Structures are given as C-alpha cells and as structure tokens.
C-alpha cells in the first residue's frame, strides 16, 4: 500500500462502530470490565481511559503505519512529545547531543528541567558530518536529538549518516519530524529510534488542536510505552478525532503547501529587498542535495532573510498584510508570517538582517504574492 492510500484507510474500523466511516469520539475515563478476569488482566484491549480508547488507538495506528514504526504514543502537545521522548531514553548522569537549530522551547527544556535532573547537553552544529559527531561522543552520551530542517534557519541534517554513527555507539537517535511529517520523511527508516511530530501543525491541519506523536522502532517501543504510562500522558478523544480527520487530507494539503511555498520562495529570491531564502526545496539551498536524497517533498514553511532596513520597515510590511496573519504556529490551511529570533550556541549560519518565517497556506498563490508585493511597497516607503 502506498502512503496516500494508507492515509485514507489506516486506523479505521467501520465494522466495530456501526459502519461509521470515522471512529467516533470516545469520551471515557472509566471503562467498565465485564468479569474479574478482565478486570485483573487489563488492558484487554482497553483498561482505563488514560491509557487509550478506540479513538486514540485509531490515530496511533494511522501515525504508526505512516512512520513505519512499532508503536505510536500520543502526547498533549508537540513540545511534550519532544520532552517525553527525551525523558524516555535519558537519566541522571547521561549526556545528550542536541542540534543547535532545535525548536526554542525544546532547547529551553534541556537548559532547565533536563539539567536539573542531571542530564548534560551539548548543542552541536546541525550540518556536522559523521566524523564530526565521533569527536563529540562521550562515554556517557546516551541520546542524540535531530531536527531537520532546523527551526528558523532550515538547515537539513544528514540523518542517515549521523544515525548510523550514533547507533555504532549504542546512542538513541531522536528526530523532530514536524516540518516534513512522516509523509515526506521517515526518520525510522533512516536509522532513528524515535520519530516525534508536533501533530498540532500539518497532521491536524486546521489550527484548532494541540497534540504530539512519538513513534518508536521495535527496540525502543517498550521504553517509550513505559515512560508514557508512568508519566500519565494523555490526549482527549475529541483532539484525537480531529487529528485523525485532518490526516485524511494530509496528502493533498501538503502537495499544495509545497507548490505554493516553492512559488513564493522563488518570488522572494527575485526581490531586491531579500538577502537569502531558506527553503531546502530550492536548488540553491545548501541543504538541497540531502533533502532531495532523503525527503519525498517539502512542506510550506520557509525563512526569508531581509537585507538590513530601518526599524519601522518590517512592522510596516507585516502589520499591513491582509492575508498573511501573524501567529506563532504553522501547518494550518492559512498563511502566516512572523519575525524570528534565533538562539544559537554552536558555530553556524547567523542572519545579518531581519529573519522572517512564512507559512504558505492553501489560498490562491497569486493572491498571496499580491499581498507580499504590497508589503514590500510599505517596507520601501518606510525606508
């Protein structure tokens, strides 16, 4: 079965739900057991609402099938998927290698709670090679975390090479796969142990649910299940339902997000106000070759570095957009634009001018370009 078919048919059980095409929303904490035997030997299959219902299990099945994993677990947000995955494989005295271009709040978790619990983090440059990685590995290095492309600056990582090196040292490999989704990149088949997705973005696709997924390979599934259960992570039936409904159209949505983002990215490249466009699908992008080798496509999120301008130019441009709204998320059907501040501690790319992040939504690309063009008129008028 191909992925686009899998998206439609996975995690659906009409015969178990009166023929309903979608698994209905189960809102349940108590799940009544019919016999002492079942009561004492749960889950068979469902023992208590916190550990799952048919609605959450359906979504887990869909994500797991797409990721090619052994087990998927749901979390209440994308960030909690990142932090739970880290806690599932790390303990006091361990050393973590964290990509420097990681999503800011994941970085903050390493610097705060993870440090307090005795885990030391080294932030590494996202574009390191396998040989560079060898040098960073210590006897107590237990995990490496990757995010490709990286937050804000969109550098692509050589996941297969880094994962193979980490594996040779018995190090757990975690990948934040939110940008690509498991439709466009499959971390587990490229050597990762845990693939993490802020499903809040493209899987949900409609900007109305916060939810995360962690998918484990066979070797890591028990560890993930154990931590997830003991930590008490749970997701509501309503949120799981909306996420699975969103996933049914992920294929067509992502195809359109890519087409529009590529059109906008090329348009930005031709603008005199722009220093650089950060989008791996562009042939000129430094990460293009690896992206082309490993990914089945691109999503709709990309960066734009502007040439230095006056303080008022950027607000004049962004405040006046009619279609690009400002909001700290992405992956929904709507176009978004934000200014981006990057926090880095390892060597790597640093923009000189203002860095912007655009999410290409599902509007007509020509209307979006007209909105962006009017924005540059305000930008230039402001000096």
Ligand X SMILES: Cc1ncc(COP(=O)(O)O)c(C=O)c1O
CB of 37 to ligand X, least distance (A): 40
Among 198, 306, 317, 338, binds ligand X (CB under 6 A): 198
Q: Which is nearer to ligand X, 60 or 176 (CB)?
A: 176
Catalytic residue among 6, 107, 142, 201: 201
Among 79, 90, 313, 372, binds ligand X (CB under 6 A): 79
Contacts (Cβ under 8 Å, ≥6 apart) of 205: 246, 247, 249, 250, 253, 331, 332, 333
CB of 192 to ligand X, least distance (A): 15
Looking at 40-48, 74-82, 114-122, 216-224, which segment touches ligand X (CB under 6 A)? Answer: 74-82
Catalytic residue among 48, 50, 266, 371: 50
- Alpha carbon distances (Å) from 109 to 27, 74, 117, 197, 301: 31, 19, 11, 17, 24
**Under the phi-then-psi rule, with left for phi > 0, alpha for psi from -120 to 50, and beta for the rest, what region is 288?**
alpha
Looking at 78-86, 119-127, 261-269, 370-378, which segment touches ligand X (CB under 6 A)? Answer: 78-86
Residue 85: name the closest of 180, 177, 216 by CA. 216
For 120, phi then psi, to 5°, come to: -95, 135
Q: Say if CB 190 and CB 159 are below 8 A apart.
A: yes
Q: Residue number with the shortest CB distance to ligand X? A: 78
Q: Say if CB 162 and CB 143 are below 8 A apart.
A: no
Alpha-carbon distance of 114 to 372, in angstroms, equals 41
Q: Which is nearer to ligand X, 64 or 338 (CB)?
A: 338
Q: Say if CB 65 and CB 113 are below 8 A apart.
A: no
Binding string, 258-297, against ligand X, x = CB under 6 A?
----------------------------------------
Residue numbers 305-344 binding ligand X by CB under 6 A: 329
Q: Where are the beta strands (DSSP E) in 161-273?
A: 172-176, 194-197, 212-216
Q: Which is nearer to ligand X, 17 or 206 (CB)?
A: 206
Task: Compute how many residues bind ligand X; rule: CB under 6 A.
Answer: 14
Does residue 201 carry a catalytic annotation?
yes
Q: Which is nearer to ligand X, 212 or 365 (CB)?
A: 212
Q: Which is nearer to ligand X, 2 or 341 (CB)?
A: 341
List b or e across 220-251, with b for residues whose CB sees 16 or more CB atoms inside 10 angstroms. Answer: bbebbbebbeeeebebbbebbbbbbbbbbebb
* Residue owning tokens 């430094």: 286
Q: Which is nearer to ligand X, 269 or 329 (CB)?
A: 329
Looking at 7-15, 34-42, 73-81, 224-232, which segment touches ligand X (CB under 6 A)? Answer: 73-81
Does residue 103 carry a catalytic annotation?
yes
Query: Percent helix, strand, coil in the chain (nearest 5)?
Result: 40, 15, 45
State how beta strands 355-359 and 336-340 pair: antiparallel
Alpha-carbon distance of 74 to 63, in angstroms, equals 10
Among 55, 178, 220, 243, binds ligand X (CB under 6 A): 178
CB of 178 to ligand X, least distance (A): 4
Among 141, 151, 220, 260, binds ligand X (CB under 6 A): 151
Does residue 50 carry a catalytic annotation?
yes
CB of 40 to ligand X, least distance (A): 37
Catalytic residue among 26, 103, 202, 321: 103
Among 126, 141, 181, 200, binds ligand X (CB under 6 A): 200
Residue numbers 81-110 binding ligand X by CB under 6 A: 82, 103
- Alpha carbon distances (Å) from 209 to 6, 76, 199, 213, 254: 22, 9, 8, 13, 18
Question: Does residue 176 touch ligand X according to CB under 6 A?
Answer: yes
Among 11, 54, 58, 78, binds ligand X (CB under 6 A): 78
Q: Where are the beta strands (DSSP E) in the chain?
A: 71-75, 95-99, 120-124, 141-147, 172-176, 194-197, 212-216, 274-278, 301-306, 336-340, 355-359
Does residue 176 carry a catalytic annotation?
yes
Contact positions toward ligand X, by CB under 6 A?
77-79, 82, 103, 147, 151, 176, 178, 198, 200, 210, 212, 329
Residues identified as active-site = 50, 103, 176, 201
């Amino acid at each position: 079965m191909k992925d686009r078919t899998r998206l439609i048919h996975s995690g659906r059980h009409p015969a178990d739900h009166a023929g309903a095409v979608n698994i209905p929303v189960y809102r349940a904490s108590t799940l009544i057991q019919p016999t002492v035997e079942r009561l004492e030997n749960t889950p068979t299959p469902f023992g208590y609402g916190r550990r799952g219902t048919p609605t959450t299990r359906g979504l887990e099945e869909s994500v797991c099938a797409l990721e090619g994993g052994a087990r998927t677990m749901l979390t209440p947000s994308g960030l909690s998927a990142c932090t739970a995955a880290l806690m599932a494989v790390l303990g006091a005295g361990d050393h973590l290698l964290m990509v420097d271009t990681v999503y800011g709040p994941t970085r903050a978790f390493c610097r705060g709670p993870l440090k307090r619990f005795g885990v030391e983090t080294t932030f590494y440059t996202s574009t390191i090679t396998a040989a560079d990685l060898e040098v960073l590995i210590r006897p107590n290095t237990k995990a490496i975390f990757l995010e490709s492309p990286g937050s804000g600056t969109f550098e692509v990582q050589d996941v297969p090479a880094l994962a193979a090196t980490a594996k040779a040292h018995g190090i757990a490999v975690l990948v934040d796969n939110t940008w690509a989704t498991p439709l466009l990149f499959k971390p587990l088949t490229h050597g990762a142990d845990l693939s993490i997705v802020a499903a809040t973005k493209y899987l949900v696709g409609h900007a109305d649910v916060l939810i995360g997924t962690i998918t484990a390979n066979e070797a890591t599934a028990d560890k993930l299940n154990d931590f997830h259960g003991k930590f008490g992570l749970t997701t509501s039936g309503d949120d799981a339902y909306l996420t699975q409904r969103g996933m049914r159209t992920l294929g067509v949505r992502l195809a359109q997000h890519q087409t529009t983002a590529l059109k906008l990215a090329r348009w930005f490249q031709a603008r005199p106000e722009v220093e650089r466009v950060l989008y791996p699908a562009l042939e000129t992008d430094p990460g293009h070759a690896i992206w082309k080798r490993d990914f089945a496509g691109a999503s709709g999120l990309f960066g734009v570095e502007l040439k230095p301008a006056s303080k008022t130019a950027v607000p004049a441009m962004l405040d006046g957009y009619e279609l690009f709204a400002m909001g700290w998320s992405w992956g929904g059907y709507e176009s978004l634009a934000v200014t981006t501040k990057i926090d880095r501690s390892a060597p790597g790319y640093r923009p000189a001018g203002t860095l912007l992040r655009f999410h290409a939504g599902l509007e007509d690309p020509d209307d979006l370009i007209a909105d962006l063009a009017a924005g540059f008129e305000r930008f230039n008028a402001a000096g």
